[in-house]
Structure 1
């Protein structure tokens, strides 16, 4: 059965998705970055501090959605902030996503347009119609259909989460699921961020 994603494993660390990686010693470079991002010197980084430190290819700070998503992925104790060790994993994760983004930003414009997104998702194993690819690009940028690196990360993580939720419910492995409205809302709200 070919799921969205072409049957590939879309879990973090497998296939095209960056890995959150195991823990270990934190390099001096990451420690330096941590201190620079931790503006209030609290020993923790919040989504607000992360947003102030990250700039996408268009010279804008990463979106609130992207920063909240990334902090949430690495905030293991659900404190609303990350410590140095969690930041080390996030730092690696962001750099891996930047490498993925640069691979598909073939014209090096600092954003991914509709043909580049189609190629990226196709190579990740998704077989979406041109209309759906257009919807995804217009959803991110209604005027020009350009996707910045932060929005690309959010989009890919959301596609991964929805794919995993779909697979878990496709018990017959026939590519269809039946959901009640409340279950649909639960999936949609929990996968969105």
Structure 2
């Protein structure tokens, strides 16, 4: 597997204010009476969604609270590992939870990935198949083989997670994000060892262990 230097586009518009966005479950009700208004400069609709998810009124969202509010296009809940990855990425104070400002950044991130996902979900099925996943990875600059894409699909197909089920050969939105973030993170780690940028590295046993442990942190 080789890589190129393409990065994900970071420019995204604010979340829509007229309807609940893709990824938010409208079934989540308020767990308590919301305050009179959002913080100065905050998106009022995004603040309302945050308060709806914050069922204990703590001002912080746990992984479980956030997962209960995030849905895929087929109404299935987000993979808990994807939610945990997102919380870890935006938990700037290392509290294990996210406050409203951190949630705002996370929501923009989800919106960015939503647009990306819809670009490659050409048939509008709510999931990507092997060909669509391959196109996505190559568009991101990851020059991977069909064999690797097949393995990635098997890993992240939510319906093929055990030996008794072969799954559908498709990846839903949440697992698409998880798969792409995983490939990018591993590629960045690989690049750190590939000093001459030739797509080959040599590492010792302890370096390998360190690399794996850091990915699981």
1:20–1:92 CA contact under 8 A, matched in 2: yes
**Residue among 125, 145, 148 paired with 2:169:** 145
Cα deviations across residues 138-184 of structure 1 (Å, max 9, x unaligned)? 11123212111111111111111111111111112222111122322
Aligned partner of 2:182 in structure 1 is: 158
Match of 1:46 among 41, 53, 62: 62
1:1-16 residue pairs with structure 2 within 5 A?
A: 4-8=2-6, 10=7, 16=8
Query: Which residue number corresponds to residue 86 of structure 1?
Result: 102
Residue 3 of structure 2 contacts residue 199 of structure 2 at CA under 8 Å; is this kept in 1? no
Query: How many pairs align?
Result: 183
Q: Does 1:114 align with 2:92?
A: no
Q: Deviations over 1:38-95 (max 9, x none)?
A: 1111100011001000011222110110010001000011111010100110111111
Structure having greater relative contact order (Cα 8 Å, sep ≥ 6): 1
**Which structure features the higher share of helix residues?**
1
Gaps of 5+ in 2: 14-39, 161-166
Aligned to 2:52: 36
Return the TM-score normalized by structure 1.
0.87
| Equivalent residues of 1:20, 1:89 under 8 A apart | no
Aligned counterpart, 2:35: none
Aligned to 2:42: 26
* TM-score calculated relative to the size of structure 2: 0.78
Structure 1 residues not aligned, in runs of 5+: 11-15
Poorly superposed stretches of 4+, deviation over 4 Å:
17-21
Mapping of 1:127-142 within 5 angstroms? 127-141=143-157, 142=160
Question: Which residue in 2 is equivalent to 1:59?
Answer: 75
- After superposition, the CA RMSD in angstroms is 2.0
Structure number with bigger Rg? 2
